[in-house]
Amino acid sequence: MSEEKEPIRVVISGAAGQIGYALIPLVAGGKTFGPNQPIILHLLDIPPAMKCLGGVVMEIEDCAYPLVRGIVATDSYEVAFDKVDWAILVGGFPRKKGMLRKDLLAKNASIYIETGKVLDRCASKDCHVLVVANPANTNANTLSMNTPSIPRGNITALTRLDMNRGAGILAKRLGAKPSDVTNVTIFGNHSKTQFPYIDRADINGTPIRTAINDDSFLDQGFITQVQNRGAEVIAARGFSSAMSAANAIKDHVHDWFHGTKPGQIVSMGVDSTGNPYGIADGLIYSFPVTIKNREWAIVGGFSLTDAQRTLMQTTEKELKEEKDEVSASSNL
């Protein structure tokens, strides 16, 4: 009989929210870290959400998950981040009606400065961090500037949902299985400026451009559809994507933990410093990556037309502006 693995500590912030409710069953049920990896769940939320979080804890207990070896539910950052190995940061301040982007950035910057400071002090020095809360790339960058003792490569932002959306749209158009569409790439920010790139994507070995045979759709309609999909879900449901966001978090963390398969390329918001695409250093920008031993590497050499380079620069410009706005609001 093989020896049981040591449990790892996994914190989910914003655990009482919509995404938390859809994500916890995936993490607790072994879909992220695998069916043999015991976990201790740390669940963080703010004081007004503690009653609701108490109900979530009861439900986790009632699921009797074999892998869950402990639950810590708290509104204290110090308790939540104590010795954690993985941090999935979903908690943040939502955009309210009439709120300026500048104000949203400043509000979340203050949360992610504090989160970074406490994480740096309390978490494992090899803590792997995924930031989900929007503006995800910029929150991840703000956090990283406040975690000097955690490697910058360990801080990432979620763009896997955009990648999955792209694969889903292409598969639907082809009447195919989404899992047959591989290597759709997201460049840039998790926002409406993101650039979904399909010239390395294929379906069962056939390039997507050949299979779809409609350049005007691929170079325009498809891009706009992926960029606007989140807003479409909000307009229909009245809430932002939660089931699909949780599923994408599961995919991101699963591939980071276990590594990518041969030939598989995934998208993650990662440190842009030294990237092979000429994007400015010091951003958290989404690139195509492969992953081995829990370290990602950017895949270079994608061929790009001038129009595609312009799309990459548009989303880069937005990230630079967000970074500057955060610096101006917080003297980072």
Where do contacts with ligand NAD occur on this chain (CB under 6 A)? 13-14, 16-20, 44-46, 49, 90-94, 111, 132-134, 136, 158, 161, 190, 240-242, 245
Concerning whether 258 is annotated as a catalytic residue, the answer is no
95 belongs to an annotated ligand binding site = yes
Which residue, 68 or 111, has its beta carbon nearer to ligand NAD? 111
Residues 6+ apart with CB under 8 A from 52: 16, 45
C-beta of residue 134 within 8 angstroms of C-beta of residue 190: yes
18 belongs to an annotated ligand binding site = yes
Residue 319 CA, distance from chain mean position: 16
C-beta of residue 42 within 8 angstroms of C-beta of residue 60: no
Secondary element (H or E) of residue 43: strand 39-44
Q: How far is the CB of 244 from ligand NAD (least distance, A)?
A: 8
Which residue, 105 or 111, has its beta carbon nearer to ligand NAD? 111
Q: How far is the CB of 143 from ligand NAD (least distance, A)?
A: 12
- Alpha carbon distance 18, 32 (integer Å): 18
Q: How far is the CB of 3 from ligand NAD (least distance, A)?
A: 36
Which entry of 128, 190, 254, 258 is annotated as an active-site residue?
190
168 belongs to an annotated ligand binding site = no
Q: How far is the CB of 225 from ligand NAD (least distance, A)?
A: 16
19 belongs to an annotated ligand binding site = yes
Which residue, 14 or 288, has its beta carbon nearer to ligand NAD? 14
Secondary element (H or E) of residue 203: strand 202-203
- Alpha carbon distance 130, 157 (integer Å): 5
Which residue, 202 or 325, has its beta carbon nearer to ligand NAD? 325
Secondary element (H or E) of residue 225: helix 222-237
229 belongs to an annotated ligand binding site = no
**Residues labelled catalytic:** 190
